[in-house]
Each structure stands twice: as structure tokens, then as C-alpha cells.
Structure 1
Amino acid sequence: MKQYIELCEHILQNGAKKEDRTGTGTLSVFGYQMRFNLNEGFPLMTTKKTAFRLIVSELLWFIKGDTNVKSLIAENNHIWDEWAFAQWVESSEYNGPDMTDFGRRAQQDDEFSRQYQEQMAIFQEKILTDDQFAEKYGDLGPVYGKQWRSWATTTGGTIDQLRNVIEAIKNNPDSRRHLVTAWNPEFVDDMALPPCHTMFQFYVADGKLSCQLYQRSADVFLGMPFNIASYALLTHLIARECGLGVGDFVHTTGDTHLYSNHMEQVKEQLQRTPRALPILKINEEIDSIFELEVKDISVEGYDPHPRIKAPVAV
């Protein structure tokens, strides 16, 4: 992952100090691009352990058009928990300890961290066992899956962007319109978190499928390793669906930042030597991208350095 290491070094050397929505503060650069040849191995971070199973379950969640954290929590995937949790603790129905600014406070106050973990466990249990609670507080609004699979039209219908782009790749591979967008201005304010990875485009040449993602906001230490692996996986899955090989994954980012409370972790990661990339394995008995389950997708030969923990800015 030489490209990623170079990006981290570039931000540390050239980044501008900026404030942000979370109040954490960042070092940021604007406009950056990395290119990964997917034939050289699957781009899963090796300088720190990255949970591939979580990447798979989140991507399949998008692909299914789901927007409720219930199915993620059932898969023991807690990537989106904080945003759903915030909806509950900010509501009039919540009567527990004050959870204001829980993301930052949990990192600074051991007693508050204990209370936060208790309330989060209560929240997760209620999501799994109370359908009405899950419907009210587990749904994140019209986030990625909704836009990919059920984009609302002005005539009251919906557009399945993902299925349409797959059919277009199969039937008109040279088209320059193989696009899927998650940024829907009409509904941005209804989303728990407006899409960070806003649009992606596919390109077919020499029997290979390439993908370029435009990401408006990139949390380089925590989020970006997931984003790279997720869209690399999506490229593999759609290439397989369309009878193509894989080409490049091109990652283009807008506000590309390191949070101020991730600096020591980044420096630790930069001291590590990258290892060989793993190989992606997909169950050959499942033909359709829409029928795949988490157990059908894995990597072999993944030998990363240990995980490095860092707080999530919510």
C-alpha cells in the first residue's frame, strides 16, 4: 500500500489545519488521487489489521438497498452504530445519562466511557429485539443503499442505479455513462450522514473493468482503508457479474484529512513495512451479486501488522 503511505506523508508535510463538523480538527489537503492495479493483489491494508468481514457486510448492506443498522448489528458489524445511537440519545424518549458529544467524551473520561458503553449495549439490544424501536432509531434515512437501489424520481417511481449500471456494462461496455451517484441533494438533510463516497464510474477496456470513486470527504486513518477495500471489492463483484476481468481502482478524494486525534496512530503506522497483499476469494457457486452473503467472500494470505485503535469522529 505504497500509495496510501505516500498520502499520509503528504498530508503530514503539506496539510492545512482546518476545523470540522465534529469539532475535532484536521490536517487537510484538497484533491488527491491514488490508483490500484487490482491484478497485483487485493488492496486490503497490511500496515495495520483491517476487518475484512466488516467491509464485506457493509458493502452487501449497500448492495441490498438496506438503510437500517439492525441487519449490520446482527452481523456483529458496528460501523454505523454511532450515527444511529445519536438519533436515540438526542430524542425526547431517551432518559439515560447525558450523552452529548459522546464520541469525544468517551475518549477523555473513563467514567463517561463506561456509561456510554452501557447505553450503547442497551441500544444495540433494543435494535435487535424491538422492531418498532429498530424502525424508529435504527434507520439512517436515505443513505447509500437507498440511493443505489431506489433513487426516488419526480414521478413517484424509483431507479435501481446499481442493477441498471450492471446491465449497461454487459450490453454497452464502451458507454461513458456507467455511473452511480449517492449524492441526492433533495434528501441530504434527511440522512444520518450525507454520503462521503458520492459517485463512482465504471470503465471497460481490454476485457477488464475499472472503477473510479469520487469521495468528497475522506477520513484517511480510519475510513479510507475501508473505502479502498470496499470499492475494490465492488469492482471485483461487478466484473465477475459481467464476465470481465479487473483493471484499476482509482480513488479520487476532495477534502482528504487526518483528524488531530489520529496523529500518533498515523506516525506509528508509517513506521511499519507493508506486506504482501492478500488474494480475494468469491464463492463460485453464487452467480449473482445480489445473492451473495458474507460467508461467500473471503481473502487468503492476509498477514497484516496489528490493529491500531483510534476514536471515531461523529
Structure 2
Amino acid sequence: MRHPESQYLDMLARVLESGDPRVDRTGVGTLSLFGEMARFDLSSGQVPILTTKKVFWKTAVKEMLWFLTGGTNIRELLQDNVRIWTDWPLQKYRQATGHDLSQADFEQRVLDDEAFAAQWGELGPVYGKQWRRWLGADGKVHDQIAGVIHSLRHNPSSRRILFHGWNVSEIEGMALPPCHLLYQYHVSSQGRLSCILYQRSADILLGVPFNWTGAVALQLMLAQQAGLTPGDFVWMGADVHLYKNHVEQAREQLSRAPRPLPRMRLAVQRDSIDDYRVEDFVVEDYDPHPPIKADVAV
């Protein structure tokens, strides 16, 4: 039986070998494939946290927990030592003011000055806003996550157990339109909760490993809230791309043999989806290869 991580490595190799060269929004350029898929069985506790490089899984979980708060300002992330969203507001600040402030100094000002954070740390109506506070045309606010949990508990055979972030009327106001944009859930007759995540844009080297980790963490939380057990995690990628300044890093990762996937579990039973903390997640038997550094394309 092939290692589950081989799905990722095979996809990475296909992008390198036959990806379509494209000029992208960032100007960096990519090699791109369209339409990829991966499937993982979570029922044994094993989760697709990659082993061919170290994935900082706590950062991915913290990001998911931040999405669930409905937050849209990087100050909340920085207070939790998460810096993966800084690039976009920092770029906006530099372009607007002409000040070449370093990332460290910018982040410190966001942390120290609430007014500065309110002006320059805001990302617009990104993921959390749409997931928890989607504003309808009638003025009604929709909590999509609460709706998913209600359906899982009371109508688990529904084919409408999903949420998404592609709010057309608010796309222009977002620092970055949602990449992992639609999550749909399925409950089997055995009480197993499975998820399909559709991702329109997938940065295979940096983004996808984080997206998989965050999505699986959410799946575990939702399963616990609905009294279910984890089933399959299925990922569908549309534009799956490798940035051209990540080619050598991809080759390095492909030279490494995957190790056994780790296990993830929740250490406590929380009363609400809003009560989880990163300390509630336990990852066991994670023995990855060293991390691989690469620049984010903004």
C-alpha cells in the first residue's frame, strides 16, 4: 500500500514536470495544473500533516481558530504569534504611505497601537467574516458554521451541509479572496463525518500543507460538536500551482522519503465551537524532515 503522502508528492512532481508556465497576479510566475485531488482516511487518527518537511501545525490550527472567531484584523493573529497574514496589509501600508517599514516594526506597531491596527491591520471581509457573519441582501447576518453544526446534529443526511466564503459583493474589499472557499460535509450511516474541501487556488508548496492541517482540525471539532467520528478528508484543487521561486525547494522535498503520518486528537470535549484553543489539539508521533523555507508571493 502506497504512503498517503505520496498523493502530495506525486502532485508536486506533476506540477514540476508538466505544469503550464503562467504569469500570475504576483508577477512571480507559476507552473500550474488544473484539477487535482487527494483523499485521506482519518478514522484511525492519522492526519495529512506532511512529513517530507516540517509543517508548523500549531500555526495552521491557530489560523483556523481565528477564522472561527470571525476576525479580520492581523492584530489578533500577531497576539497569538501568527505572522502568515502580515504581507498583505504591510504591502498596502508601504504603497499608501511610501514608508519602507520593516515587517517586524510594522507588526510591533500593530500590536502596540490599536488605532494603527484598526487602520492598517485590517484585511477586509475575509474568511471569518463570511463564515460567521455573512451579511445578506435583506440585512440578516448568517452564521454559516452554526448552520453546519445544527444540520449535522438534526439533519445529518442533508446534502446541503456546507459553507463557503465567495461573497461576490465583498470580494473587492478583501485583502485576498478566499482560496479554500467551499467546505461540504457528509455523515455516513455509521456516524462518520467526511469533508470535501474545494480550493480554487492552491499554492502547493506553502499553502496546501497549511490548508490540509487547518481543514482537518476543523473536521475534528465539528465531529466532536455533533457526536460523530472523523471519516474521510477529500481535497479538490482547481488551479494547483508552484511559484517559480519555489522550484528548488520542491525538488528538495521530492528527494525525501515520507515517514509515518502523525495522529491528531482533541484532548477535551468543548461545549461550543467557539471554545476551542490550540492547547486542545494533541499531535502524536510527528517526526518530520526539517522545514523548507520559501518566500510568500504577494
Assess same fold via TM > 0.5.
Answer: yes
Pick one of 172, 180, 197 that aligns with 2:155.
172
8 Å contact kept, 1:33–1:252: yes
Counterpart in the other structure of 1:13: 17
Q: Secondary structure at the match of 1:234?
A: helix
| Residue of structure 1 in register with 2:208 after alignment | 224
Q: Alignment partner for residue 267 of structure 2, among 267, 275, 283?
A: 283
Structure 1 position 95, deviation (Å): 4.7
Equivalent position SS for 2:70: coil
C-alpha distance after superposition, 1:241-264 (max 9, x if no partner): 100011111100111111111111
Picking from 86, 89, 93, the partner of 1:84 is 89
Q: Distance in 2 between matches of 1:29 and 1:274?
A: 23
1:137 corresponds, among 120, 125, 128, to 120
> Structure 1: where are the runs of 5+ without partners?
98-117
CA contact (8 A) 2:51 2:258 kept: yes
Say yes or no: does 1:25 pair with 2:8. Answer: no
The match for 1:158 is 141
Runs (5+) with no aligned partner, structure 2: none
Whether 2:102 is the aligned partner of 1:119: answer: yes
C-alpha separation in 2, matches of 1:95 and 1:225 = 34
Whether 1:215 aligns to 2:199 is yes
Aligned equivalents of 2:282, 2:24: Cα separation in 1: 36
Aligned partner of residue 62 in structure 1, secondary structure: helix
Could you give the per-residue CA deviations for residues 216-260 of structure 1, whole angstroms, max 9, x where no partner exists?
000000100001111111111101110001111110011111111
1:59 counterpart residue number: 64
* SS, match of residue 313 in structure 1: coil
Contact 2:40 2:47 in 1 (8 A): no
The RMSD of aligned alpha carbons is 1.1
Distance 1:79 1:272 in 2: 25
Q: Using the TM superposition, give the Cα deviation of residue 300 of structure 1 relative to its aligned residue in structure 2, in angstroms.
A: 1.4
Q: Which residue of 2 aligns with 1:2?
A: 6
1:169-227: CA deviation from partner (whole Å, max 9, x where unpaired): 11000000001010011000000001111111000102100000111000000100001
Distance in 2 of aligned mates of 1:96 and 1:239: 47
Matches of 2:88 and 2:105, distance apart in 1: 15
Tell me how many residue pairs correspond in the alignment: 292
Are 1:256 and 2:261 counterparts?
A: no
Native 8 Å contact 1:96 1:119 kept in 2 = no
What TM-score, normalized by structure 1, do the two folds share? 0.91
Whether the 8 Å CA contact 2:220–2:265 is kept in 1: the answer is no
Partners of 2:105 and 2:13 lie apart in 1 by 40
2:48 equivalent in structure 1: 43
SS in 1 for 2:168: coil
Counterpart of 2:267, as a letter, is N
- Structure 1 residue runs of 4 or more that deviate by more than 6 Å after TM superposition: none
Report the equivalent of 2:253: 269
Using the size of structure 2 for normalisation, the TM-score is 0.95
Residue number in structure 1 paired with 2:131: 148
Partner Cα separation in structure 1 for residue 268 and residue 279 of structure 2: 12
Q: Return the alpha-carbon distance in structure 2 between the equivalents of residues 236 and 293 of structure 1.
A: 13
Q: Name the amino acid aligned to 2:119.
A: K
Partner of 1:69: 74
**Residues 131 and 164 of structure 2 are in contact (CA less than 8 Å); yes or no, is this contact kept in structure 1?**
yes
Alpha-carbon offset, residue 82 of structure 1: 0.3
CA distance in 2, matches of 1:38, 1:10: 25
Establish whether residue 96 from structure 1 lines up as the match of residue 89 from structure 2. no
**Amino acid in the other structure paired with 1:223:** G
1:302 aligns with 2:296: no
